[in-house]
Amino acid sequence: MPQITALFWDVGGVLLTNAWDRTQRERTLQEFKLDDIEFHDRHEMVVSSLERGKISFDEYLNRTVFYRPRPFTREAFKQYIFSLSQAHAEVLAFARELAKSGKYLMGTINNESIELNLYRIQTFGLRNLFTNFFSSCYVGLRKPEQGIYQLSLDVTQKQPQECCFIDDRALNLECARMLGMHTIEMKDLGQLQQELQKLGVTT
């Protein structure tokens, strides 16, 4: 088996909580007493543009929330959303040890808007772990599209057989695996460490 030289990580659901997934949206709608159906009808129409970097987070909020007056401010709404991002501390610490080992190219492959992506990179010190951020908002592609995985290989000049992609959703692993990358569907830290050890990945 070829030696693993590159590790690509999902961010939300693996290293951190999700940024603006269904659970976070539902919590926010309840907190600000917004209509779920009305919001999600609008959300589905613009979320692809948001995560591909075609519109800003403020433009997204204009279309989904602030298209009419609200009894709360835009800043309060955004700050609440940002506050929902929390670290999976043990997984983050493990990834940091892998990065410190210097054995592996470390990159992310994730779907996020520009504003949330930058906030999470800065807040949780992700620049210290990763040299490449293949975030949907920068590359204009989203998981599970094959193009985002192919781009990560092309830019890093890695062969798929020497790469492993880690995600918490099986659907996001399919195209990576079709390209020849090793994949791990992460359930918890212990299982992730065991799966990586099988591939010869150690700190």
110 three-state secondary structure: strand
The CATH number linked to 74 is: 1.10.150.240
Average pLDDT, the chain: 97
Q: How far apart are CA 158 and CA 182, in angstroms?
A: 13
Distances (CA, A) of 171 to 1, 11, 166, 177: 25, 15, 12, 10
pLDDT score recorded for residue 2: 83
Neighbouring CB atoms inside 10 A of 120's CB total 23
Residue in this structure with the two tokens 């193009």, named with its chain if needed: 147
Query: Model confidence over 177-202: pLDDT tens digits?
Result: 999 999 999 999 999 999 999 999 99
Q: What percent of the chain has pLDDT over 70?
A: 100
Q: Count the domains in the chain.
A: 2
Q: Fill in the amino acid letter for 173.
A: L
Same-domain check for residues 65 and 116: no
* Average pLDDT of the segment spanning 110-139: 97
Query: Model confidence over 143-166: pLDDT tens digits?
Result: 999 999 999 999 999 999 999 999
Same-domain check for residues 94 and 66: no
pLDDT score recorded for residue 6: 98
The CATH number linked to 133 is: 3.40.50.1000
Query: Model confidence over 14-32: pLDDT tens digits?
Result: 999 999 999 999 999 999 9
The answer to whether the beta carbons of residues 158 and 68 sit under 8 Å apart is no
